[in-house]
Chain A
Amino acid sequence: MGLLFGVILVKSQVISWFRIQEMFRLQAFHMYGVIGSAVLVGIISIQLLKRFRLKTIHGEKIVIPDKTFHWGNVYGGLIFGLGWAITGACPGPLYAQVGSGFLVTIFTLLSAVAGTWTYGLIRNRLPH
């Protein structure tokens, strides 16, 4: 599954810094099309899974945990957005960029790990 996702991210140029620039400058539909149609297919699939009460291949009931709102969704979201526009990559594409041979993005990835670690370190002192 991950492999397939990686192929799609590269082939649709979602991992391209230029595509992300184009998106945030509202100068192309491409990225909105990718995310929008993924969400649409996702909504329909999940509704179908529920409607037909499908189970996993191991026979378990399918559960999607509810996300509860906290202010981190806002503050963290804004910080993430700033970073996304600079690096041109969110976590999925970060891995794909490394695989695509942009080896310097290993440092972007390591730095993202460091960012996550720092969040864990100061989590109790942040407003949520």
Chain B
Amino acid sequence: MELIRQPWPWYVAGPLIGLIIPALLLLGNKTFGVSATLRQVCAACIPANISFFKYDWKKESWNLFFAAGIIIGGFIATYLLSNPGYVNINPNTTALLQQEGIKDFSGLLPQDVFSFSQLFTLRGFVFIVVGGFLVGFGTRYAGGCTSGHAIMGLSSLQWPSLVATCCFMIGGIIMTWFILPYLLQL
């Protein structure tokens, strides 16, 4: 039990994620991918006569259960299966982030950016609302996210997914190295 409560190393987590792929295929030809659920929510709640959201979303409703499962899984892992504590990141990363203005390293997310009191500041708005918008817009434009392209797409050897995955990394590196330091100063 103590072993489960520790953070899991990559060689445990990665292969387990990999096994979800055949499990979903065997359970009924489901292809692993999370970002499609965002489109599902649009189609179910706010289709607004947009053709992109006019399809039979109920037929694909399994992935909404999948998304709900992730929320519940996140709850269980955090409240029942974890010891609270710092994320053990590279001290060089910590030092850089401190320079750039992050003070709180006590949880999974920096509370000095991601909290309700920050939501209505310019910095909080950029990190939470603008960031979320870019994720949702970009992932659908790209046709998938880390799970659908990087994991499912690469696993089934599809080269467009390799292109998308490389672009994810390029976008992330540009943001982290060249733009984020300024955003943290807001």
**What is the minimal beta-carbon distance from A79 to any residue of chain B, in angstroms?**
3
* Contact A119 B26, CB 8 Å, known A1-B66, A69-B163: no
> CB distance A16 to B87 under 8 Å?
yes
Instruction: Kindly state whether residue B185 has any CB partner on chain A within 8 Å.
Output: no
Instruction: Kindly state whether residue A67 has any CB partner on chain B within 8 Å.
Output: yes
> CB distance B87 to A57 under 8 Å?
no
A29 to B90, CA, bound (A): 10
> CB distance B142 to A42 under 8 Å?
no
In the complex, residue of chain B having the shortest beta-carbon distance to the beta carbon of A6 = B73
> CB distance A111 to B133 under 8 Å?
yes
B residues contacting the other copy or chain, number (CB 8 A): 124
> CB distance B15 to A38 under 8 Å?
yes
Residues of A67-117 at the interface with B, using a CB-CB cut-off of 8 Å, are: 67-70, 72-92, 94-105, 107-117
Contacts of B122 in A (CB 8 A): none
- Size class of A's contact patch? 35 or more
Residues of B138-155 at the interface with A, using a CB-CB cut-off of 8 Å, are: 138-147, 149-155
- Tell me the dominant secondary structure on chain B's binding face: helix
Instruction: Kindly state whether residue B172 has any CB partner on chain A within 8 Å.
Output: yes
A113 contacts which of B38, B119, B168 (Cβ < 8 Å)?
A: B38
A83 to B140, CA, bound (A): 13
> CB distance A22 to B89 under 8 Å?
yes
* Among B41, B89, B136, B143, residue most surrounded by chain A Cβ atoms (within 10 Å): B136
> CB distance B13 to A12 under 8 Å?
yes
Residues of B147-176 at the interface with A, using a CB-CB cut-off of 8 Å, are: 147, 149-161, 163-176
Chain A residues within CB distance 8 Å of chain B: 1-25, 27-31, 33-46, 48-49, 54, 56-58, 60, 62-70, 72-92, 94-105, 107-121, 123, 126
7 A-B pairs with least C-beta separation: A81-B171, A6-B73, A2-B69, A41-B18, A76-B141, A99-B74, A115-B136
A-B contact pairs, 15 of them (CB 8 A): A5-B69, A9-B77, A10-B73, A12-B12, A13-B108, A29-B10, A39-B18, A40-B18, A82-B175, A83-B134, A85-B176, A96-B77, A100-B74, A104-B119, A111-B128
